[in-house]
Amino acid sequence: MEIITAVKGFKDILAPETDTWRHIETTALDVFRTFGFSEIRVPLVEKTELFRRGIGESTDIVEKEMYTFIDRGDESLTLRPEATASVIRAYLEHGLPTAESITKLFTIGPMFRRERPQKGRYRQFHQIDVEVLGPDAPQIDAELILMLMHFLGRLGCEQLSLQINSLGCAQCRPVFREAVVRYLSAGKDGLCPDCLRRLDTNPLRVFDCKVEQCGEVIANAPLLLGFLCPPCADHFTKLQACLNLFSVPFRVNPKMVRGLDYYTRTAFEVTTQSSGAQNAILGGGRYDHLVRDLGGPDVSGIGFAIGIERLAALMPEGKTYGAPGPRLFIAALGDRAVESGFTLCNRLRIQGIPVEIDYAGRSLKSQMKRADKMQSSFALIVGDREIEENSALLRNMHTGTQDKVALDDVDAIITILAR
Ligand code: HAM
């Protein structure tokens, strides 16, 4: 009978990759806590309306990538394609906003988008998502980016490039949008069918198009930075000054627009210079109207999300994050030895010592080979004679030295194992 395989675009994560993921997650926890963040866990499923309103009707995610279904109660539900809208929903639902307060939250977990799977792009992927809700001071943007780059540095990720841009606000962006529409309409013939459609629905998305002919049209398009109103320009200048203060390297990329509709002012991405189709490992930005658009008070926000699959692929080569080999391997030979090995092994484990044993009745040679392969620090060879004498030899696998131990004296064994 054929085995049933996983669904296309959904993948299993096995060791040692799971060890790398765990290392990434615990490092995130450590760094984020230092910067005053607390963890929130939000459901995988939300009302579809949340994402339609939050992410924007004319984004790729809402238009064609969401896993939406009608629940038995005739309610339209969606597997979350990102976490920002959910975090804000929870923030509002639990009454977290208070006057003058700042709320710093992070969440880690799977997201779902029905994209075309390829290297670095999956239908279930995982994000480390960070959100700050509160005032809109540029120091908050800088602090968030500083924390992010510090986190990536702690992981030892190199050859990354931070790109920032300002997407303006409700005052200056419409003026820019009009200028772009005017410019693109004049060069309409050079645009792909998708971009022709975007011209009406979401013209700034044309900047993100990967089709070569669109790239040529875009090359000379007007840039938002030239249209920023004085408060937005000032915010962007201050952000850059703060980043310079901490010598955070960045490049201003005036063509970076991001794929979600909620952004205002600061937008940023970190890309890798290594080759491959998916080079953005994270993206984020400020969203000054999203909380209000989701029914909340006038609270600003900024955040980012890192793709764990893409980050894990960039971790330093040759490093492993798994647990070291066991402290002890018990090579048990014969039925009585297996029985006594079983007792000793699990008594030691309950004391917190990692121990392995082989119950398969293999030869001494093959058991010792296994102990070596597992990089066990010690080996205890127990046969029927040792059981009779209640003593066995405990061998240090690195130095070759041996100690005679009483099989029932667990404390003495622990003392030697601790050396
Ligand atoms: P996003 O740019 O859509 O932003 O996604 C952030 C990151 O998630 C990407 O840079 C990428 O690493 C990863 N990612 C996205 N789609 C996939 C996929 N199909 N397969 C693998 N990885 C993927 C957001 O999601 C925003 N919510 C970020 C944010 C938080 N903005 C403000 N706060």
pLDDT tens by residue, 179-197: 999 999 988 888 999 899 8
Among 55, 310, 311, 314, residue to substitute to test ligand 1 (most atoms within 8 Å of Cβ): 310
Nearest CA to ligand 1 atom 12: 307
Pocket flag, ligand 1, residue 54 (CB < 6 Å)? no
| Class at the top of the CATH hierarchy for domain 328-417 | alpha beta
Compute φ and ψ for 311, nearest 5 degrees.
Answer: -70, -45
pLDDT score recorded for residue 275: 58
pTM of the model: 0.93
Cα separation, 267 vs 369, whole angstroms: 55
pLDDT tens digits, residue range 235-291?
A: 999 999 999 999 999 999 999 999 888 999 999 999 998 756 568 999 999 999 999
Please identify, by atom number, the ligand 1 atom nearest to the C-alpha of residue 286. 32
Note the CATH architecture for domain 17-172+228-313. Answer: 2-Layer Sandwich (3.30)
Nearest CA to ligand 1 atom 21: 121
What the block records as the tokens of 173 is 């962006």
16 preceded by cis ω (within 30°)? Answer: yes
pLDDT tens digits, residue range 376-396?
A: 999 999 998 889 999 999 999
In which residue are the tokens 């809402």 written? 62
Among 111, 112, 308, residue to substitute to test ligand 1 (most atoms within 8 Å of Cβ): 111
CA 320 to chain centre: 18
Pocket flag, ligand 1, residue 314 (CB < 6 Å)? no
In which residue are the tokens 């969606």 written? 78
Nearest CA to ligand 1 atom 10: 282
Nearest CA to ligand 1 atom 14: 307
- Contact of 259 with 208, CB cutoff 8 Å: yes
Nearest CA to ligand 1 atom 13: 307
How far is the centre of ligand 1, averaged over its atoms, from the C-alpha of 307 (Å)?
Answer: 6
Cα separation, 30 vs 131, whole angstroms: 16
In the predicted model, what is the mean pLDDT of the chain? Answer: 94
How far is the centre of ligand 1, averaged over its atoms, from the C-alpha of 36 (Å)?
Answer: 23
Cα separation, 69 vs 96, whole angstroms: 30
Q: What is the pLDDT along the chain (419 residues), one digit of tens a residue?
A: 999 999 999 999 999 999 999 999 999 999 999 999 999 999 999 999 999 999 999 899 999 999 999 999 999 999 999 999 999 999 999 988 775 689 999 999 999 999 999 999 999 999 999 999 999 999 999 999 999 999 999 999 988 999 999 999 999 999 999 999 999 998 888 899 989 988 888 898 899 888 888 888 888 999 999 999 999 999 999 999 999 999 999 999 999 999 888 999 999 999 998 756 568 999 999 999 999 999 999 999 999 999 999 999 999 988 989 989 999 999 999 999 999 999 999 999 999 999 999 998 899 999 999 999 999 999 999 998 889 999 999 999 999 999 999 999 999 999 999 98
Pocket flag, ligand 1, residue 208 (CB < 6 Å)? no
Please identify, by atom number, the ligand 1 atom nearest to the C-alpha of residue 115. 19
Beta bridge partners, 131, equal 105, 303
Cα separation, 339 vs 359, whole angstroms: 9
Domain boundaries, the chain: 17-172+228-313, 328-417
Q: Is 126 helix (H, G, I), strand (E, B) or coil?
A: strand
Half-sphere exposure of 368 (CA within 13 A, CB side): 11
Secondary element (H or E) of residue 234: helix 230-245
